[in-house]
Chain A
């Protein structure tokens, strides 16, 4: 039996199509060729590092349109900006509590160990929503607000009841896994870096397969190169099934259940 593959990390940028709905359809056409059943989408038709409250709302409206186009196959994560606390909390209520979105996305507006994140994390945790936090440790230098996995570890320790996904495994994944190893409330996603052989084996060895999640970062990345990290890894089939979908379904479970969505 083929595993059910859910992709934790997709975007509407870098995909052909004039509307969010058309881009979602296009994304799923590529995803479907590789057997991917569902995708999680965050952020809008264009990249905005530090969105204003109005831009934040527009970005999330794009994702809502994508979800409405294919609600059986597209999940939305609500994009927040810790520099705009009230607007971000309002977006959580609009898109997640009252809307169809199922998780939270934080990108590069503010380093994630900053205290401004605390109210957002607390509210997400109250709603049982997982937080997908961008992390990258770049030899070429991070953006001013771009978080490292070390900073995510700080945040996760402050909020032991919240659940996080370290997007990109910190980019420099050998360091990322070390930084996050002792944070049991943090999973890592495998997306957004080269299909470096051995990455998934190390993730499973250091974190356990239960804390590793497949994601692609499509459309900027191909589904294929990122899926290869699991397909090509020398790990048991049971671990692959966890990574390709079971872990994400477990993380999203409380929110999906509250919305009556069958996983």
Chain B
């Protein structure tokens, strides 16, 4: 990882006089904790809109340019396709081709499909993935579904991270043919308790999960990303409420502008230690082998 040596985040993107196009913001390095880990990146085409970075090479180039060392990467196809095994194989291949050492593939698993266990096995054994990604709101199951419990057990046995995506976009502005209601996370703390081997990360949860429930989920052992966290100083507030070690840097790129997550850290004026933990240290602790597990 070469790009992160640098500079402070600039709202204006580090503009210099006479420059027609602003430079992309370089991620601030405060000297601790190593490179940034973005736990919330997705490859592919979003069905309802072209995104500026929906080509894998472009997304990888952007992440490298701003100094991300590792990006946990799912696939839009994993949400919408029934042939999830095919989507996962393409994801693994595209991560290898465009982002070796950067894009860490997280395959999708839908525990309501027949033989979903085979998808989990392929993610672990064939693609050597560090984790998987779930979409209960799109795949239509509850957070107390027994299949989800079994999935958490199997993933825990394999020491895989399980990312659960609460939302992909604001329910108020979804395409009429692509509406996905909020999943109800109330039963989830109970499902998670008693599963100490489960390693769960909630993504894009802020609109679906009230803070009190998020605290319960964090107490039960899950981590939460910051991609959809709002309110002024929202990341600092979240870190206070659920503890810093449970908070992970996630951008939700390419659906969101990557800069949103970076600027949230700046707005929150965290201590150097807290910022280092959120921007990579906490994720690194969850997945010490990520990157090393990818097949050569």
Contact = CB atoms under 8 A, between A and B. Distances in A.
Given A225-B230, A225-B264, A193 B11 contact: no
A198 B232 contact: no
Contacts of A30: 232-233, 267
A237 B179 CA distance: 36
Contact of B17 (A1, A14, A227): A1
Contact of B269 (A3, A33, A171, A218): A33
Interface stretch (B102-110, B125-133, B151-159, B165-173): B165-173
A38 to B, nearest CB: 14
Contact of A237 (B21, B175, B269): B21
Interface in A11-40: 14-15, 26-27, 30, 33-36
Interface in B22-41: 22, 25
Interface string B228-255: 1111111000000000000000000111
B230 A2 contact: no
Given A2-B15, A194-B256, A231-B12, A140 B267 contact: no
Residue of A35, A196, A218, A220 with most chain B CB atoms under a 10 A cut-off:
A196
A231 B267 contact: no
A195 interface: yes
A34 B266 contact: yes
Given A5-B11, A197-B51, A197-B52, A139 B172 contact: yes
A221 B173 CA distance: 17
A232 B25 CA distance: 8
Contacts of B51: 197-198
A219 interface: yes
B138 interface: no
Interface in A216-253: 218-225, 227-229, 231-234, 236-238, 240, 244
Contacts of A138: 172-173
B171 A140 contact: yes
Given A34-B267, A236-B20, A2 B10 contact: yes
Contact of A228 (B175, B228, B257): B257
Contacts of B172: 136, 138-140, 171-172
B174 A139 contact: yes
B173 A172 contact: yes
Nearest to B254: A197
B257 A35 contact: no
B210 interface: no
Given A3-B12, A171-B173, A221-B231, A196 B255 contact: yes
Contact of B256 (A195, A231, A237): A195
B256 A196 contact: yes
Interface in B70-93: none
Contact of A231 (B231, B233, B257): B257
A34 B230 contact: no
Q: B12, B228, B264, B269: which has the most chain A beta carbons within 10 Å?
A: B12
A67 to B, nearest CB: 19
A197 B11 contact: no
A99 to B, nearest CB: 26
Interface in A28-59: 30, 33-36
Contact of B20 (A3, A139, A231, A237): A237
A228 B256 CA distance: 9
A195 B174 CA distance: 14
Nearest to A36: B11
A219 B173 CA distance: 21
Given A136-B172, A227-B263, A238-B20, A220 B231 contact: yes
A225 B231 CA distance: 9
A219 B231 contact: yes
A96 B169 CA distance: 38
A174 interface: yes
A221 B266 contact: no
Contacts of A227: 11, 259, 263
A240 B277 CA distance: 32
B52 A234 contact: yes
B264 A222 contact: yes
Nearest to A139: B174
**Most B C-beta atoms less than 10 A away, residue of A195, A197, A198, A240:** A197
23 contacts: A2-B10, A2-B12, A26-B232, A34-B266, A35-B12, A139-B173, A139-B176, A193-B173, A194-B170, A194-B228, A196-B256, A198-B50, A219-B231, A220-B230, A220-B231, A222-B263, A224-B260, A224-B264, A225-B230, A228-B256, A233-B257, A238-B20, A240-B13
Given A139-B176, A196-B255, 14 more contacts: A3-B12, A26-B232, A30-B267, A33-B266, A140-B172, A172-B173, A195-B256, A197-B253, A197-B256, A198-B49, A198-B51, A227-B259, A228-B257, A231-B12
Top 5 closest pairs, chain A to chain B, by CB:
A232-B257, A224-B263, A228-B260, A232-B259, A228-B259
